[in-house]
Amino acid sequence: MPQAAVGVSPAEASAYVGIDTLQEQTRVRALRRGYTFNLLVVGRSGLGKSTLINTLFKSPVARRKEGQEEPLPSTTQVKKVETTVCEGGVKLNLTITDTPGFGDHINNANCWEPIVSYIEEQYGRYLTEEQKVYRLLRIPDSRVHCCLYFIPPSGHSLSSLDVEVLQRLDKVTNVVPVIAKADTLTLEEREAFKERIRADLHDHGIKSYPLEDTAVHDDAKMKVRLPFAVVGSNQWHEVHGRKVLGRRSTWGLVEVENKAHNDFACLRDMLIRTHMQDLIDSTSDYHYENFRRTKLSVVPNGEDAANRKEEAQSKL
């Protein structure tokens, strides 16, 4: 027998159905199932993509053992780093996929192709599994929920290569542009650069995440800091007896986690605390659905199923 909500009159209590317990039921189901979140990092060579992944894994997302580390080699192939994080009984399967940087060649045409193929391959796997007669109750989800796109800290504007890659990526996944190596720009330069990038994204019709019309809580406060200007580091430093990740130079220390120094913590908050569920849902409901519809509407001999349906209907 469901329990009537506290503070309701006897008349209301007799009419109480218990729909409000759905929230608790959903919570229990989510606890049991856990969450899967897949992040992809993309951008030109040497912008700190691999370093930022390490930073995320060292920061409270998934703290690993401390220690000074060797410099990272340049990434030459797609590499996945997986971990399971448990907090307050909630299990998160987190996968971050690192990709080799591009833009080093004289001809960078089609440099986005391997990345778009990788994203579509994950949709394809999911679709194949979904279409099986005897399918898994819970299909393993390797679909990319969010793509972090690293913008060089040029301080000018988006380059034509960045525009071209972003225009391809926003069609297939949620893209969050970030300004790399933010410690190389002054605070004024950062703000001006952010404004310029926001205008460039708008002018080129690039739909970066979160979209203009999404209203996930705390959006307004977060949106003024977009695109996030981030700093990554492998090195621990001691500040007033605390160990912090940061980058030390002769004039001082840039703390990775300090929101006054850069937006790394804001980015992490958005990815984990405020927008993770929305990123997962929009991948499934929008990007995957687009892929699925395109795949299924083309029959093997190249004829479009939608046209055939229209033809059939017109004959009726």
Ligand X SMILES: Nc1nc2c(ncn2[C@@H]2O[C@H](COP(=O)(O)OP(=O)(O)OP(=O)(O)O)[C@@H](O)[C@H]2O)c(=O)[nH]1
Binding residues for ligand X, per CB under 6 A? 45-51, 71-72, 74-75, 100-101, 181, 183-184, 231-232, 247
- Minimum distance from CB of 249 to ligand X (Å)? 8
Question: Of these partners, ligand X, Mg ion, none, which one is at the site of residue 208 (CB under 5 to 8 Å by kind)?
Answer: none
Cis peptide before 60 (omega within 30 of 0): no
Question: Of these partners, ligand X, Mg ion, none, which one is at the site of residue 275 (CB under 5 to 8 Å by kind)?
Answer: none
Question: Of these partners, Mg ion, ligand X, none, which one is at the site of residue 231 (CB under 5 to 8 Å by kind)?
Answer: ligand X
Region at 3 (left for phi over 0; alpha for psi -120 to 50; beta for the rest): beta
Q: Note the Cα 24 to chain centre separation in Å.
A: 27
Question: Of these partners, ligand X, Mg ion, none, which one is at the site of residue 42 (CB under 5 to 8 Å by kind)?
Answer: none
The amino acid at 81 = V
Separation between Cα atoms, residue 236 and residue 188, nearest integer Å = 27
- How many Cβ atoms sit within 10 Å of the Cβ of residue 296? 12
Please say whether the beta carbons of 257 and 263 come within 8 A.
no
The amino acid at 4 = A
User: Crossing angle of helices 113-131/160-169, nearest 10°?
Assistant: 0
Listed in sequence order, the DSSP H helices in the chain are 10-14, 21-33, 49-58, 113-131, 160-169, 187-203, 219-223, 264-268, 276-282, 289-296, 305-315
**Rounded to 5 degrees, what angle do the CA atoms 30, 36, 42 make?**
150
- Minimum distance from CB of 70 to ligand X (Å)? 11
Question: Of these partners, ligand X, Mg ion, none, which one is at the site of residue 143 (CB under 5 to 8 Å by kind)?
Answer: none
Separation between Cα atoms, residue 148 and residue 146, nearest integer Å = 7
- Minimum distance from CB of 62 to ligand X (Å)? 18
Whose Cβ is closer to ligand X: residue 69's or residue 129's? Answer: 69
Residues paired with residue 294 on neighbouring β-strands, in sequence order:
none
Question: Of these partners, Mg ion, ligand X, none, which one is at the site of residue 232 (CB under 5 to 8 Å by kind)?
Answer: ligand X
- Minimum distance from CB of 271 to Mg ion (Å)? 19
- Minimum distance from CB of 177 to ligand X (Å)? 15
Please say whether the beta carbons of 83 and 56 come within 8 A.
no
- Minimum distance from CB of 161 to ligand X (Å)? 14
Whose Cβ is closer to ligand X: residue 108's or residue 284's? Answer: 108
Rg value, the chain, Cα: 23
Whose Cβ is closer to ligand X: residue 90's or residue 239's? Answer: 239
Question: Of these partners, Mg ion, ligand X, none, which one is at the site of residue 85 (CB under 5 to 8 Å by kind)?
Answer: none
Separation between Cα atoms, residue 152 and residue 103, nearest integer Å = 11
Question: Of these partners, Mg ion, ligand X, none, which one is at the site of residue 124 (CB under 5 to 8 Å by kind)?
Answer: none
Name the residue whose CB lies closest to ligand X. Answer: 101
Residue 39 dihedral angles phi and psi, to the nearest 5°:
-115, 140
Residues in contact with Mg ion by CB under 5 A are 49-50, 75
- Minimum distance from CB of 55 to Mg ion (Å)? 13
- Minimum distance from CB of 5 to Mg ion (Å)? 53
